[in-house]
Amino acid sequence: MASSKPLPCGRCQNAAVNINAGFWCYDCDDGLCSTCIKHHKQFKGTCDHKTIDIKSYKPSISDIKTKCDKHGQQFSLYCPSHLIPFCDVCISMTHAKCTGIKSLASVVHNTKIQNSKETVEREINSILSFLDQFVNNKSKNIRAAEREYISIKESIGDIRKEINEHLDHLEKKLCQDADTIWNQEKSKATGFIFEIKEQKKNLERMKEQLQTVTTHTSKLQSFLGVHYVEQQVHQCQRFVDDLENDERTKEFDIKMKQNNDINM
pLDDT, the chain, mean: 86
Provide the pLDDT for residue 129: 95
Provide the pLDDT for residue 61: 53
Provide the pLDDT for residue 160: 66
φ and ψ at 43, to 5 degrees? -70, 130
Task: Specify whether 139 is located in the same domain as 245.
Answer: yes
Task: Specify whether 85 is located in the same domain as 23.
Answer: no
Indicate if the pLDDT at residue 119 is higher than 60. Answer: yes
Lowest mean pLDDT among 61-65, 107-111, 200-204: 61-65
- Is residue 208 in some structural domain? yes
> Per-residue pLDDT tens for 175-232?
888 898 899 989 999 999 999 999 999 999 999 998 888 888 888 888 998 999 899 9
Task: Specify whether 125 is located in the same domain as 241.
Answer: yes
- Is residue 260 in some structural domain? no
> Per-residue pLDDT tens for 146-160?
999 999 988 887 776
H-assigned helices in the chain:
10-14, 34-42, 90-94, 104-110, 113-163, 167-213, 219-242
Task: Specify whether 35 is located in the same domain as 76.
Answer: no
Residues 6+ apart with CB under 8 A from 117: 210, 214, 226
Number of domains into which the chain is organized: 3
Task: Specify whether 127 is located in the same domain as 189.
Answer: yes
* Dihedral sign (CA 212, 216, 220, 221): negative
Q: What is the CATH number of the domain that holds 91?
A: 3.30.160.60
Task: Specify whether 47 is located in the same domain as 69.
Answer: no
* pLDDT confidence band for 263 (50 / 70 / 90): low
Task: Specify whether 28 is located in the same domain as 66.
Answer: no
Q: Are 193 and 138 in contact (CB under 8 A)?
A: yes
DSSP-derived 3-state class of residue 219? helix
Q: How many CA atoms lie within 13 A of 123 on its CB side?
A: 20
Q: Are 121 and 210 in contact (CB under 8 A)?
A: yes
Task: Specify whether 214 is located in the same domain as 173.
Answer: yes
- Is residue 259 in some structural domain? no
Q: Which residue has the higher pLDDT, 137 or 168?
A: 137
Task: Specify whether 79 is located in the same domain as 32.
Answer: no
- Is residue 4 in some structural domain? no
Q: Could you tell me the residue range of the domain that residue 95 belongs to?
A: 61-110
The most confident of the ranges 49-53, 62-66, 101-105, 133-137 is 133-137
Count of beta carbons in the 10 Å neighbourhood of residue 165: 8
Longest pairwise C-alpha distance within the chain: 101
- Is residue 27 in some structural domain? yes
Task: Specify whether 129 is located in the same domain as 81.
Answer: no
The DSSP call for residue 76 is: -
Provide the pLDDT for residue 60: 59
Task: Specify whether 47 is located in the same domain as 154.
Answer: no
Q: What is the 3-state secondary structure (H, E, C) of 16-38?
A: CCCCECCEEECCCCEEECHHHHH
Provide the pLDDT for residue 247: 87
- Is residue 132 in some structural domain? yes
Task: Specify whether 141 is located in the same domain as 102.
Answer: no
Q: What percent of the chain has pLDDT over 90?
A: 33
Distance between CA atoms of residues 118 and 97, nearest Å: 32
Q: Which of 77, 95, 110 is the last residue of a domain?
A: 110
- Is residue 5 in some structural domain? no
